[in-house]
């Protein structure tokens, strides 16, 4: 929520470096998030934004650096551990289970919370059925929240792109995460869809208390909903602060728009 005092630091990444062959995706990046914050990561393409998220939830192990989360400091996060400790994630290219329905996909998000063993499930009676229905009820709340009831039985592969993104968000929220990592959640959406998505993210942050880290290219969205913005360029962090501050940062402008020459300065002066 904007304007409120930031909570304690939930996640702290120090000195993360990651390279693939000759490509340096991340160079000595320090990154932290406060509890309850909405933090946006921006930067030109190839800046290392997705890599940073991948490092946070364990898809990649960094070559150097540490990750401190939930009281533990470690070299690399393992995806299963990250999920267990309440980190949920959506992906740039939509990592939904295309062969399953929307309902099944979101229910899959509750996998960690379901305890009953295989034998009980095979019987589907008593404890197993109760557990299944209990989780179904919770999942339905999220489906309600994201307004995807009308497609709950549709196989995800048949849904339009915008709805797929919403389903992915639903699956992430189904895990009741503490930290939600969103990788370009609004890519390819029109204005209406983006507004809806913004509302969902803000509501999740507000009502469910989820800390959000999102990668986004749409500046209007970023300036609007983020409490803090982190800017990456060529794997390095070049700015970190509230939107107003970052917007005026010369290095950020240079990274996005190019370094202004004397001619540009004159033109700007004339225009103002």
Partner 1 sequence: MAFFVEVLVGGLLAGVMYSLVALGFVLIFKASGVFNFAQGAMVLAAATTYAGLVDRGWSGWAAFLAALGVMILFALATERFVLRPLVNQPQISLFMATIGLTFVLEGLSQAVWGSVVRGLDLGIPDTPLEVKGVLISKFDLVASATAGGLVVILALFFQKTRVGRALRAVADDHQAALSVGIPLERIWAVVWAAAGAVALVTGLLWGSRLGVQFALTQIALKALPVIILGGFTSIAGAIVGGLMVGASEKVAEVYLGPIIGGGIENWFPYLLALLFLLVRPDGLFGEKRIERV
Partner 2 sequence: MIYREAGQFRISYAADQRIFPISQDRVGMMLILAAAFIAVPLFASEYVLSALLIPMLVLALAALGLNILTGYAGQFSLGTAAFMSVGAFAAYNLQLRLPWLPLLVTFALAGLISAGVGLVFGLPSLRIKGFYLAVATLAAQFFVDWLFTKVGWFSNYSSSGVITAQRMVIGGVAFETPVRRYLLVLAIVSLLALLAKNLARSRTGRSWMAVRDMDVAAEVIGIPILTTKLLAFAVSSFYCGVAGALWAFAYLGTVEPQAFDLQRSLQILFMVIIGGLGTVMGAFLGAAFITLFPLVLNWLFHAVVRGDVRAGLLSQLELVCFGALIILFLIAEPHGFARLWQIGKEKLRLWPFPH
Q: Which residues bind partner 2 (CB under 8 A)?
A: 57-59, 79-80, 82-84, 88-89, 91, 95-100, 104, 107-112, 114, 116, 118, 121-124, 128-129, 132-133, 136-137, 140, 171-172, 175
Q: Is 200 in the site for partner 1 (CB under 8 A)?
A: no
* Partner touching 112 among partner 2, partner 1, none, CB below 5 to 8 Å by kind: partner 2
Pick between residue 176 and residue 218 the one whose CB is nearest to partner 2. 176
Kindly state the smallest distance separating residue 129's Cβ from partner 2, in Å. 7
* Partner touching 206 among partner 1, partner 2, none, CB below 5 to 8 Å by kind: none
* Partner touching 114 among partner 2, partner 1, none, CB below 5 to 8 Å by kind: partner 2
Nearest CA among 171, 223, 172 for reference residue 38: 223
**Residues touching partner 1, count (CB under 8 A):** 5
Kindly state the smallest distance separating residue 221's Cβ from partner 2, in Å. 24
* Partner touching 108 among partner 1, partner 2, none, CB below 5 to 8 Å by kind: partner 2
How far is 59 from 43, CA to CA, in rounded Å?
21
Pick between residue 54 and residue 105 the one whose CB is nearest to partner 1. 54
* Partner touching 93 among partner 1, partner 2, none, CB below 5 to 8 Å by kind: partner 1
Secondary structure, 3-state, the chain? CCCCCCCCEEEEEEEEEEEECCEEEEEEEEEEEECCCEEEEECCCCCCHHHHHHHHCCCCCCCEEEEEECCEEECCCCHHHHHHCCEEECCCCCCCCCCCEHHHHHHHCCHHHCCCCHHHHHHCCCHHHHHHHHHHHHHHHHHHHCCCHHHCCCEHHHCCHHHHHHHHHHHHHHCCCCEEEEECCCCCCCHHHHHHHHHHHHHHHHHCCCEEEEECCCHHHHHHHCCEEEEEECCEEEEEECHHHHHHCHHHHHHHHCCCCHHHHHHHHHHC
Q: Is 93 in the site for partner 1 (CB under 8 A)?
A: yes
How far is 125 from 128, CA to CA, in rounded Å?
6
Q: Is 100 in the site for partner 1 (CB under 8 A)?
A: no
Pick between residue 6 and residue 155 the one whose CB is nearest to partner 2. 155
- For 61, residues 6+ apart whose C-beta sits below 8 A from its C-beta are 55, 75, 76, 77
Q: Is 1 in the site for partner 1 (CB under 8 A)?
A: no
* Partner touching 35 among partner 2, partner 1, none, CB below 5 to 8 Å by kind: none
At residue 17, φ and ψ (nearest 5 deg) are -130, 140
Pick between residue 108 and residue 219 the one whose CB is nearest to partner 2. 108
Kindly state the smallest distance separating residue 259's Cβ from partner 2, in Å. 39
Letters for 42-61 (x = contact with partner 1 by CB under 8 A, - = none) are ------------x----x--
Q: Is 253 in the site for partner 1 (CB under 8 A)?
A: no
Enumerate binding residues for partner 1 (CB under 8 A). Answer: 54, 59, 91, 93, 95
């Amino acid at each position: 929520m904007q304007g409120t005092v930031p909570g304690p630091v939930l996640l702290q990444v120090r000195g993360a470096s990651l390279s693939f062959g000759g490509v340096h995706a991340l160079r000595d990046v320090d990154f932290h998030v406060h509890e309850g914050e909405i933090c946006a990561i921006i930067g030109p393409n190839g800046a290392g934004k997705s890599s940073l998220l991948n490092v946070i939830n364990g898809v990649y192990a960094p070559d150097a650096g540490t990750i401190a989360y939930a009281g533990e400091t470690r070299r690399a996060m393992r995806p299963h551990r990250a999920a267990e400790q309440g980190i949920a994630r959506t992906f740039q290219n939509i990592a939904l289970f295309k062969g399953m329905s929307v309902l099944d996909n979101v229910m899959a998000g509750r996998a960690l919370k379901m305890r009953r063993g295989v034998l009980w499930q095979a019987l589907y009676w008593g404890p197993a059925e109760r557990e299944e229905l209990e989780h179904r009820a919770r999942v339905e709340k999220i489906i309600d929240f994201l307004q995807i009831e009308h497609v709950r039985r549709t196989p995800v592969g048949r849904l339009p792109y915008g709805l797929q993104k919403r389903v992915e968000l639903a699956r992430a929220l189904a895990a009741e995460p503490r930290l939600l990592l969103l990788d370009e959640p609004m890519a390819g959406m029109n204005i209406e869809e983006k507004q809806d998505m913004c509302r969902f993210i803000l509501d999740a942050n507000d009502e469910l208390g989820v800390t959000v880290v999102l990668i986004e290219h749409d500046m209007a969205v970023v300036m609007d909903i983020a409490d803090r913005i982190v800017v990456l360029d060529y794997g390095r962090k070049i700015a970190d602060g509230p939107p107003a501050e970052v917007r005026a940062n010369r290095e950020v402008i240079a990274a996005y728009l190019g370094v202004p020459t004397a001619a540009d300065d004159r033109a700007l002066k004339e225009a103002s």
